[in-house]
Amino acid sequence: MTKKIFSKIEEREISEAICNEFFKDLRGFLYCDVIIVGGGPAGLVAGWKLAEKKVKTLLVERNNYLGGGFWSGGYFFNKLTFRKPGEKILKELGVSFKEYKKGLFVTDSPLACSKLIAKACEAGLKFLNLTFLEDIILKENKVKGVVINWTAVNYLPKEISCLDPLPLESRLVIDATGHDALVSKKLSERGLIKISNFGVLDIKTSEDLILKYTKEIFPGLIVSGMSVATVFGLPRMGPTFASMLLSGEKAAKIALKKLKK
């Protein structure tokens, strides 16, 4: 007879634990200080830095995983490159890296991405994955939240995909959806801002510009990471990640200042 090792738990108790804890988190974040849309490197850094300051922050990600292109690097070669001063974030994360040449650093993408996700989780950042942005909440000429739905709804036949979304309110929203700039485009569709679309790849200029133009672009909406390039028509930067990390950090600093007002 096989000796019992694991604790005696009924099947229904497993389901209870999942449902109770999930909905406890969801109820707690129906209204929060900051909602970040997009769980790539910029969004994760912004969320980590905000949660670290005890800011009530929720990150919404349409995929079933976090990290975006941070997992895979350029061309699915799982190495990440960072130009100085991006290595300072790697040091904060405890990620080992190599100086390939002066001012250019390389590390393994699974290591850096998993460390960043862990750091954000440990800081208290909460996530809704497999969740996509359906719309924004706009009141008094200010972005005051997002409207979300299950990502899976997009793959259902039209006849059965009429699933009403959920609105989530917040004091600020950060668009960290990469080149798609999904949150910003909701304003553009309504004629409230103009979006230029990103330019050709130019690594030498793009990273400085991404960091420079990380800002609040409309009351209540901060743009971060590669969304910045799309909104302002800046050069794309390809497989280098320093400005994505530093843009996320800057977005968090902007949010902190605005929340204090």
47 is a domain residue = yes
Residue 161 has pLDDT above 70, yes or no: no
Residue 256 has pLDDT above 90, yes or no: yes
List pLDDT tens digits, range 227-253.
999 999 999 988 899 999 999 999 999
Confidence of residue 155 (pLDDT cuts 50, 70, 90): confident
Q: Identify which of 122, 147, 179, 113 has the alpha carbon closest to the alpha carbon of residue 35.
A: 147
192 is a domain residue = yes
Taking phi first (over 0 means left), then psi (-120 to 50 degrees means alpha), and beta for anything else, what does residue 156 get? Answer: beta
36-37-41 Cα angle (round to 5): 80
Q: Domain with 99 in it: what CATH number?
A: 3.50.50.60
pLDDT (0 to 100) of residue 251: 98
More confident residue, 154 or 37: 37
What is the extent of the structural domain holding 49?
A: 30-260
Residue 6 has pLDDT above 90, yes or no: yes
Q: Percent of the chain, pLDDT > 90? A: 88
Q: Identify which of 206, 219, 207, 205 has the alpha carbon closest to the alpha carbon of residue 254.
A: 219
List pLDDT tens digits, range 180-222.
999 999 999 999 999 989 999 999 899 999 999 999 999 999 9
15 is a domain residue = no
73 is a domain residue = yes
Neighbours of 88 (CB within 10 A): 14
Rounded to whole angstroms, the Cα distance separating 173 from 187 reads 13
